[in-house]
Amino acid sequence: MKAQLILENGVVFNGNAFGYIKETVGEVVFNTSMTGYQEVLTDPSYYGQIVTMTYPLIGNYGINIDDMESSSIKVKGFIVRENCQSPSNWRCEFELNDYLKRNRIIGLEGIDTRALTKMIRNNGTMRGIITVRELSRSQIQTKIDAFNNTNAVAEVTRADIEVVEGNGPHIAMYDFGMKNNIVRSFKARNCKMTVFPASSTAEQILSVNPDGIFLSNGPGDPKDVGETINEVKKLIGVKPMTGICLGHQILALAMGANTTKLKFGHRGANHPVLDKQTGRVMITSQNHGYVVEDETLPKGIEVTHVNLNDNTVEGMKDTGNSIYSIQFHPEACPGPHDTDPIFDEFVALMKGDTHA
């Protein structure tokens, strides 16, 4: 079925719809990963976004149950150059087209994804519509103007507290849209985890007497969760704290720093990051549209990691308050094991080693 991507700047890309045929509106972004489309689809950090994959053939190894990062697809739409309809992999349980149908998400294929990526790179992320019908200019404008992603965290967080048993350090975790592999990574280190909804108060977090507090990844602008930032402020210096991605940004805001939106974000599995503490360069997986402004970090906070593509902050440490956070995703295995030791550093901090 013929379909269009209509961008807010008026540019139209013509292609073919697949998956679940239903019009959608979202922020159009691109991801440069060659593999991992299943993890991208189910990553809650992509909530509210129409994701374009720059690698030309997607779906070639199918979809399996084990590699989901959440219970369902979280993107608003999915754009590929070519959707593979005959996947070949022993772990394949169903095709990409069927998976999108099951989750009621529309896909668009057959467009020039290189041209779209260049447009986003040059002009910045834009809102867009994937549709199979003709829309008037006024309809397009109304739909685009009506879209916002300010309530994203509330849409993807859990409803109830969950306890994951373990014999190691007890971690109280804020779920802002947490990926499953973060839980797996801490579980592999035998940590006990009590996972809280994003709306939980500092008092609720401390009520379980954790050894440390973890702030997860999640979607949207960190400044949209002002109430959470205020609760995190109450926890600074009380317990050791660590964070990934959105959690890292929330920690920075709680400590008095500022965040800003990137032109087109960092989304891919090939971003080089320098660990300033060791001098080692790591290949990292990233998915964020906002960064911490280095020059706004209060005195005493050390920048531990830097993105070598644009010199943005990728990690920070406040030794005095036992805080250590990372902008990229160490659980995503891009290197594939370059960043895995960061979880050991998190656990060491929870145990009281401020030099981790």
Each residue of 290-314: pLDDT tens digit?
999 999 999 999 999 999 999 999 9
Is the distance from CB of 127 to CB of 27 less than 8 angstroms?
yes
One-letter amino acid at 33 equals: S
Regarding the domain with residue range 153-350, which homologous superfamily does it belong to in the CATH classification?
Answer: Class I glutamine amidotransferase (GATase) domain (3.40.50.880)
- pTM of the predicted model, to two decimals? 0.96
pLDDT of residue 241: 98
Q: How far apart are CA 350 and CA 348, in angstroms?
A: 5
Q: What is the DSSP string of 110-179?
A: SS-HHHHHHHHHHH--EEEEEESS---HHHHHHHHHH---TTHHHHHS-SS-EEE--SS-EEEEEESS--
Q: How far apart are CA 43 and CA 60, in angstroms?
A: 20
Diameter over CA atoms, the chain: 61
pLDDT of residue 149: 96
Is the distance from CB of 83 to CB of 105 less than 8 angstroms?
no
Q: What are the residue ranges spanned by the domains of the chain?
A: 2-149, 153-350
Q: Which of 222, 310, 326 is nearest to 271 (CA)?
A: 310
- Kindly indicate the confidence band of residue 355, based on its pLDDT and cuts at 50, 70 and 90: low
What is the 8-class DSSP label of residue 180?
Answer: H
Query: Stretch 42-47: mean pLDDT, rounded?
Result: 97
Q: Residue 2 forms beta bridges with which residues?
A: 16
Q: How far apart are CA 70 and CA 57, in angstroms?
A: 24
The CB density around residue 1, as the number of other CB atoms within 10 Å, is: 7
Which residues are known to be catalytic?
245, 329, 331
Domain 2-149 maps to which CATH number in 3.50.30.20, 3.30.590.10, 3.30.930.10, 3.20.20.60? 3.50.30.20
User: What does the pLDDT look like over 154-210, one tens digit per residue?
Assistant: 999 999 999 999 999 999 999 999 999 999 999 999 999 999 999 999 999 999 999
